[in-house]
Structure 1
Amino acid sequence: MRHPTPHPRLLLRPLTSAHTYRRWAYLVIGGALLTPYAVAALVLATLITDHTTAPPIPTHILALLTALAAVAATAYLPGTRHAQTLLARALLQGPLTNTPHPTPTWRTTTRTSAWLCLHLTLGMAACLLTMTALTEAALLAATPLTPTTATIAQGPLTLTGHHPLTPTQRLLGPLLGLALLTALIYTLALTGHLLARTAPHLLGPSPTDLLAAAHARAHTLAERNRIARELHDSLGHALSVVTLQAATAARLLDTDPHFARQALTHIADQARTATADLDHALGVLREDTTTPRTPPPDLTHLPHLAQATHHTGTPLTCHITGDPARVPALLSRETYRITQEALTNALRHAPTAPPALHLDITPGALTLTLTNPLTPAHRTRRPHPRGGHGITGMQERARLLGGTLTARPHHDTWHLTLHLTWKEHP
């Protein structure tokens, strides 16, 4: 089986990608951070190994172990993990950029220690490699201009040998320098790529943090959807009522001025109600507002809603049995919104048809029923199997409350039924 040949652009991408040079800078920063640790550890290791009678541990090994121990201990300083995470996100980028911040625990601190040791060790190696390779590449590039061998590499790394340069070596020197520089860039690009892939495991969140972030995001989305439903139901109803009342007032302004004045008064009332609902929704969104300034309406406001609907010119019949004050606050508010959206749909689709609203409240349960005659256009229209956005929103509200809501045509009448239950406290 033949494997596809890599595209030349993919092979050249490490040379032109900004990621390569940002990660190179990140490695150099790690080497610079390790320098004071290494110098201090080397001095300490020299003092120890010079005054011991036992077979000494090589000084550079002891210095390296001492420096790494000090680097690992740095992770326990406040703010170290946060600073390392910000630096890695800015320069390494990669998968770490899209992960949430982890919760500080001893496990995350241990992983930070491992990351610091890895970052600073690779950074020091990258610094040494960079200094050596850049100097060697510059000397190779200058071979056509130098009469003798000029190199800082020793042993097998001496690319031009130790003898006087031949004409061929003088011509090949710049090419060898370019090849060495290219190899350096590819090596550091690969090191930076592997470091970026490792970062989420050591600096990123744990599975517990990811689960908590997912729960927080789900809660945020649920809250946004709830506010969207609030605005849809309250403002949608207010605008529908205002539209009908304004049209009625304009039509009866000359023939029935008294009714027109009443309609304009109710338009003002609906505008104030809509403003209060908007103020409540914005109060939930504001981070500096602990509680909404205007309490949302509930079932105790149902007579006012019925009266506002009646003043649009739509004869609404409203019957309430039981005490709305006995309904739990959350269920009362959500039932009011469902009723508001149901009346909005009735006014929008059949403004002249007389709807009938029945609310039956018993200990531990309520049943809301809204019926209105279908217009001839709606009788012949084939209903959508899933309804519109308003019905979907009402069903979502009912489902979140543990209840049921059905909305469907039956003969020449549209029926909407909501049933909710709750546990009565003794």
Structure 2
Amino acid sequence: MIIATRLLGRTARLRWVHLVLGGAALMPYFLLGTVIVGAATGGANVYGSLPLQLASFACALPIAAVSALFPIARPLSVAAARALCGVDPAALADGPARSRAARVRTAGWFTLHIGVGGVISGMTLALPPFAITLVVLPFVAALRDSRLGLPLTDGRAVLFAPPLGLAALLALVCCAVGCGALLARWAPVLLGPTPADRLAAAEQRATELAVRNRLARELHDSVGHALSAVTLQASAARRVFDSDPAFVREALAAIEETTRRTVGELDAVLGLLRQGDDEAAAVAGPGLTGLDGLLSRTGVKVAYTADGDLAAVPELVSREAYRIVQEGLSNALRHGGAAPVALRIAVGGEEVEIVMENPLPTTARVVRPGGGRGLRGIAERAALLGGHAQAGPQDGRWRLSARFPLTEKPANEPGGAR
């Protein structure tokens, strides 16, 4: 049963079809080869001579190899191999062959495919009629009396014809299975990714990861800050609900405005997720000139000082600086509660400096399990801009500082997940 499955199972049948397709692809090259051989032999009848046919076959293979050097040949070969050869799809390369090594390997595969496929296709066309004739020879007198040129048409010798016919069919099947397995073994070698393909794929994965990390930071900073502010406002309103209705109304208005703004930012980022990587890489957002609105809704008193022209800061730097301030305020709200925050942004020379300070909490506050990723996100943003950031206790206060150049310069996104 196992042998029958290997010889006639679905994989074997698909590989046989793949070989026959190779033989069909050989025909234009073979016809061109017959023209060349016919011209070289002074117009001899190529189809009436087996040696000349073999010579035409030999001429066809190098012509086919040259035609397979075009980059488009690899995607076509890979598609056929994935569908019919029964190999791991991941072991084969995607896209056209760009490098010289990839084109040469594709040419080798194509030549092997049509060469072996041409032989198996010829056997598939010729052997079954011959084998069937041998099988029925003892039972059909007309075949024995015809001039077939067979040595088994007389006497007891005719009894050997059916076994020989069945053996010919079995040999055809075994040859097809063996050649199909040969192609399946060589497909990953000749159609697999080259070092250049692996490098291109790694760069593509790094780019996609960088885009996802950037969008993750946008969501973390925007939504995380909003939730911290809403939590603080709701907590304060609950404590004075009966004694200070005016404050409760102000807190609810701040919660409404914060959530409305955050839903808008969330929709914008989710919209980018539905677009291509190029659009997602250019995530838009508020900049330093929008800090007044952020500080008015943050739910904590902020002593804000700005030195220099914030409007002159380039868009990318301004947007990243805004997110750094936003995340710093979120950390202050999360750990310091309603303690006042001192914020200073200085734009001068060729750099931007952000300094944020708030008192250390006198009692331990409950934060979400596992901590957050905000400080790492701040460091990543500063590094993206070619600068640095640090945060920690200093002189009895919590101090966050970030410094980076004004000039927009491309940099690789940090690859770590946030």
TM-score, structure 1 normalization = 0.73
Give the match's secondary structure for 1:338.
Answer: helix
Displacement of 1:405 in angstroms is: 1.0
Residues 176, 63 of structure 1: CA spacing in aligned structure 2 closer, same or farther, 3 A cutoff?
closer
Give the match's secondary structure for 1:101.
Answer: coil
2:183 is the counterpart of 1:192: yes
Residues 289, 127 of structure 1: CA spacing in aligned structure 2 closer, same or farther, 3 A cutoff?
closer
Displacement of 1:409 in angstroms is: 2.6
Residues 295, 380 of structure 1: CA spacing in aligned structure 2 closer, same or farther, 3 A cutoff?
closer
> CA contact under 8 A between 1:76 and 1:109: conserved in structure 2?
yes
Q: Deviations over 1:295-347 (max 9, x none)?
A: 511111222222211xx2x3333222222223222111111101111111221
1:89 aligned to which of 75, 82, 91: 82
1:409 aligned to which of 393, 399, 403: 393
Distance of 2:9 and 2:194 partners within structure 1: 30
Distance of 1:134 and 1:120 partners within structure 2: 21
Write the mapping of 1:129-144 to structure 2, written as runs, cut at 5 A: 129-130=123-124
Give the match's secondary structure for 2:393.
Answer: strand
Give the match's secondary structure for 1:359.
Answer: strand
Give the match's secondary structure for 2:301.
Answer: coil
Match of 1:394 in 2: 378
Displacement of 1:401 in angstroms is: 1.3
Write the mapping of 1:170-209 to structure 2, written as runs, cut at 5 A: 180=171, 183-184=174-175, 186-200=177-191, 207-209=195-197
Distance of 1:234 and 1:259 partners within structure 2: 25
> CA contact under 8 A between 1:24 and 1:192: conserved in structure 2?
no
Residues 225, 163 of structure 1: CA spacing in aligned structure 2 closer, same or farther, 3 A cutoff?
same
Displacement of 1:190 in angstroms is: 2.8
Q: Which moved more, 1:389-398 or 1:75-84?
A: 75-84
Write the mapping of 1:57-68 to structure 2, written as runs, cut at 5 A: 58-68=51-61
Give the match's secondary structure for 1:407.
Answer: strand
2:221 aligned to which of 233, 249, 259: 233
> CA contact under 8 A between 1:100 and 1:210: conserved in structure 2?
no
Provide structure 1 residue ranges, at least 5 long, that are not aligned to the other structure: 1-8
Distance of 1:184 and 1:57 partners within structure 2: 21
2:256 is the counterpart of 1:268: yes
Displacement of 1:280 in angstroms is: 3.4
> CA contact under 8 A between 2:138 and 2:159: conserved in structure 1?
no
Displacement of 1:16 in angstroms is: 8.4
> CA contact under 8 A between 1:141 and 1:174: conserved in structure 2?
yes
Displacement of 1:240 in angstroms is: 1.8
Aligned AA (2:14): R
Distance of 2:193 and 2:96 partners within structure 1: 4
Aligned AA (1:269): E
Identity, % of aligned pairs? 36
Q: Deviations over 1:270-303 (max 9, x none)?
A: 1232133224323433249969999511111222
Residues 244, 145 of structure 1: CA spacing in aligned structure 2 closer, same or farther, 3 A cutoff?
farther
> CA contact under 8 A between 2:302 and 2:343: conserved in structure 1?
yes
Q: Deviations over 1:383-414 (max 9, x none)?
A: x9xx8411111111111111111122346432
> CA contact under 8 A between 1:30 and 1:120: conserved in structure 2?
yes
Residues 418, 397 of structure 1: CA spacing in aligned structure 2 closer, same or farther, 3 A cutoff?
same
2:119 is the counterpart of 1:125: yes
> CA contact under 8 A between 1:233 and 1:341: conserved in structure 2?
yes
Match of 2:199 in 1: 211
Residues 256, 299 of structure 1: CA spacing in aligned structure 2 closer, same or farther, 3 A cutoff?
same
Distance of 2:165 and 2:65 partners within structure 1: 43
TM-score, structure 2 normalization = 0.74
2:327 is the counterpart of 1:335: no
> CA contact under 8 A between 2:226 and 2:258: conserved in structure 1?
yes
> CA contact under 8 A between 1:101 and 1:205: conserved in structure 2?
no
Q: Deviations over 1:81-113 (max 9, x none)?
A: 543332233223446655231366888666655
Q: Which moved more, 1:21-30 or 1:288-297?
A: 288-297
CA RMSD of aligned residues (A): 4.5
Distance of 1:141 and 1:389 partners within structure 2: 78
> CA contact under 8 A between 1:356 and 1:370: conserved in structure 2?
yes
2:38 is the counterpart of 1:38: no
Aligned AA (2:289): T
Write the mapping of 1:352-367 to structure 2, written as runs, cut at 5 A: 352-367=338-353
Aligned AA (2:113): H
Provide structure 2 residue ranges, at least 5 long, that are not aligned to the other structure: 409-418
Match of 1:350 in 2: 336
